[in-house]
Amino acid sequence: MTDPHTRPILYSFRRCPYAMRARMALLASGIDVELREVVLRDKPSAMIAASPKATVPVLILPDGSVIDESLEIMVWALAEADPQDWLMPESGTLDDMLALIAQNDGPFKHHLDRFKYHTRYDDADPAEHRYEAEKILNRLDGRLAVGTYLFGSRPVLADFAIAPFIRQFANADKDAFDAMPFVHLQRWLDDFLHSHWFEAAMVKYDQWHDGDDPVIFKAA
C-alpha cells in the first residue's frame, strides 16, 4: 500500500488504450496513485509542464521523476510489486513478451490508426490497412489456439498490454470482427473485457482541475 503522503500522480484518459494498460498494471501491482482524469481537448498545464509531449498516460513519482510511456509505467509498477507474476510468463521470457508488444505498438497500431481514422492520413486506404492488421490478428489467434493466453495458461504483461488495442480494433466494426474466423482471439478478448482488471480500470472519473480534492485510484 502506498504512503498517502508519497503517492505517485497519474494523468490519465479513460478511453485511451495506452492509459488503460498503465492503470491495469498499477492495479495489479497494488500501487495507489492520485488519478487526474484528463480531457484531451483541455489538457491541464501541470501535465504539459511535466511531460511536454502532452500525451497520456503520465506518471509523476514522489521524487519528481516522470514516466510518460505507458509500457514503461507498466514495467516500473510491476518491478515494484508483481503479485500476479505478470513479468514471469509460463512460456517464453520477458524479452519475448516485449517483442510481441513491440509488434502491437508498431505495425499493428500503424494499421489500426489508418483503418479506424483514415481521414486523418493522406492517401490512407482503410481496406488495405484493415487487411494488414488482420494478418497480425491471425498470428495472435494462432498463438491463442495453443495456449489460453499469449504466453501460457494465465494472463501476463503481454496480454494486458495488447488487449486494449485489439478492443479498439474490434469496436471499429464489431459485427465484422465477430464474423471473423478468429475464434481464439475473440474468446481471449471477451475474457479480457470481463476481467476484474479491465472492469476496475474502466471506472469513470470526472475531469480533474487544479485545486480538486485528490482522487485515489487503488486496487480493491
pLDDT at residue 198, rounded to an integer? 98
Residue 131's CB is within 10 A of a number of other CB atoms, namely 12
Please state, in angstroms and rounded to a whole number, the distance separating the CA atoms of residues 127 and 111: 10
**Amino acid, res. 220:** A
Architecture of domain 94-198: Up-down Bundle (1.20)
Residue 138 in contact with residue 146, Cβ under 8 Å?
no
Please state, in angstroms and rounded to a whole number, the distance separating the CA atoms of residues 116 and 199.
Answer: 24
Q: How many CB atoms lie within 10 A of CB 34?
A: 17
Residue 49: alpha-carbon gap to chain centroid: 23
Q: Where are the beta strands (DSSP E) in 56-181?
A: 58-60, 66-67
What proportion of the chain, given as a percentage, has pLDDT over 70?
A: 97
Q: Which CATH number describes the domain made up of 9-85+202-217?
A: 3.40.30.10
Q: Quick check: helix, strand or coil at residue 63?
A: coil
Q: What is the pLDDT of residues 109-122, one digit of tens each?
A: 999 999 999 989 99
The model's confidence at residue 2, banded by pLDDT at 50, 70 and 90, is very low
220: confidence class by pLDDT, cuts 50, 70, 90: low
Contact between residue 48 and residue 210 where contact means Cβ atoms under 8 Å apart: no
Q: What is the pLDDT of residues 153-202, one digit of tens each?
A: 999 999 999 999 999 999 999 999 999 999 999 999 999 999 999 999 99
Domain extents in the chain: 9-85+202-217, 94-198
pLDDT at position 101 over 50: yes
- The bridge status of strand 9-12 relative to strand 33-37 is parallel
